[in-house]
């Protein structure tokens, strides 16, 4: 299993803490062998769980799929609605929100290819990720990509109740391929994607999706720039 680089420090520190706890338990309750074996098993399982959270799956990368928008993360669809983006686009867009549980892979991928036009990190609250206000009040990072035809797609990485750090690799002016790595959100969280409102939607609320593999929509009326 490959581990994402964002997890190296956390996994190492967790391992050291688990070892320290076991040695303290061993020192204070010598002779209670059954309890010591239980603690060793519990701490080992906990450490493996933390390591597994940062797993980086190997997946076939699909690039330049004509008009298709892929899921930016693993999880389950919790919102499909038309909203008005007040941060950057200033227009009505079709929003698809995907909730990532603590057991999901937490890497994020670019749902479309193009040029990064805008990116900004917002400090905020840590409401549960499925809360309606989490899109505008939680800690979040916004990325806007301009497609080849000039239309724009907004991706918003949102921290949840447990997540406290969002990693985003995008920079303004950077050309990105579809399904390349966008970033990482540590522990439970959510990703919103805002696409042109006339797009053809392929998913419904409650549908499970796989990041970089599941098409969630097709942008309609693709046209080339003059």
pLDDT in tens, 124-135: 665 555 555 556
- Which pTM value belongs to this model? 0.80
State the pLDDT at residue 132: 56
CATH assignment of 68-218?
2.70.70.10
d(CA 194, CA 162): 24
Catalytic residue, candidates 189, 199, 212, 220: 189
- Per mean pLDDT, which range of 86-90, 159-163, 209-213 is the poorest? 159-163
Check: CB of residue 104 under 8 Å from CB of residue 75. Answer: yes
pLDDT band of residue 1 (cuts 50, 70, 90) is low
Average pLDDT over residues 92-115: 92
* Angle, helices 33-53/8-28, rounded to nearest 10 degrees: 170
Mean pLDDT to the nearest integer, 150-166: 81
SS (H, E, C) the chain: CCECHHHHHHHHHHHHHHHHHHHHHHHHCCCCHHHHHHHHHHHHHHHHHHHHHCECCCCCCCCCCCCEEECCCCEEEEEEEEEECCCCCCCEEEEEEEEECCCCCCEEECCCCEEEEEEEEECCECCCCCCCCHHHHECEEEEEEECCCCCEEEEEEEECCCCCCEEECCCCCCEECCCCEEEEECCCEEEEEEEECCCEECCCCCCEECCCCCEEEECCCCCCCC
Mean pLDDT, the chain, integer: 86
pLDDT category at 160 given cuts 50, 70, 90 is low
Q: Map out the domains of the chain as residue ranges.
A: 5-53, 68-218
Q: Is residue 189 flagged as an active site residue?
A: yes
């Amino acid at each position: 299993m490959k581990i994402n680089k964002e997890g190296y420090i956390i996994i190492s520190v967790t391992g050291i803490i688990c070892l320290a706890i076991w040695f303290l338990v061993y020192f204070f309750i010598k002779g209670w062998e059954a309890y010591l074996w239980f603690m060793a098993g519990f701490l080992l399982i906990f450490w493996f769980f933390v390591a597994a959270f940062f797993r980086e799956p190997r997946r076939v990368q699909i690039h330049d799929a004509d008009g298709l928008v892929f899921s930016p993360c693993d999880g389950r669809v919790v919102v499909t609605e038309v909203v008005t983006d007040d941060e950057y686009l200033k227009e009505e867009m079709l929003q698809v929100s995907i909730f990532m549980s603590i057991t999901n892979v937490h890497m994020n991928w670019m749902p479309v290819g193009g040029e990064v036009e805008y990116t900004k990190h917002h400090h905020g609250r840590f409401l549960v990720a499925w809360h309606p206000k989490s899109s505008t009040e939680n800690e979040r990072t916004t990325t806007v990509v301009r497609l080849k035809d000039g239309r724009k797609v907004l991706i918003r990485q949102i921290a949840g109740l447990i997540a406290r750090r969002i990693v985003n690799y995008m920079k303004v002016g950077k050309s990105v391929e579809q399904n390349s790595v966008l970033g990482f959100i540590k522990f439970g969280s959510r990703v919103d994607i805002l696409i042109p409102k006339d797009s053809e939607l392929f998913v419904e609320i409650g549908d499970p999706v796989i990041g970089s593999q599941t098409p969630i929509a097709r942008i309609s009326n693709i046209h080339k720039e003059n």
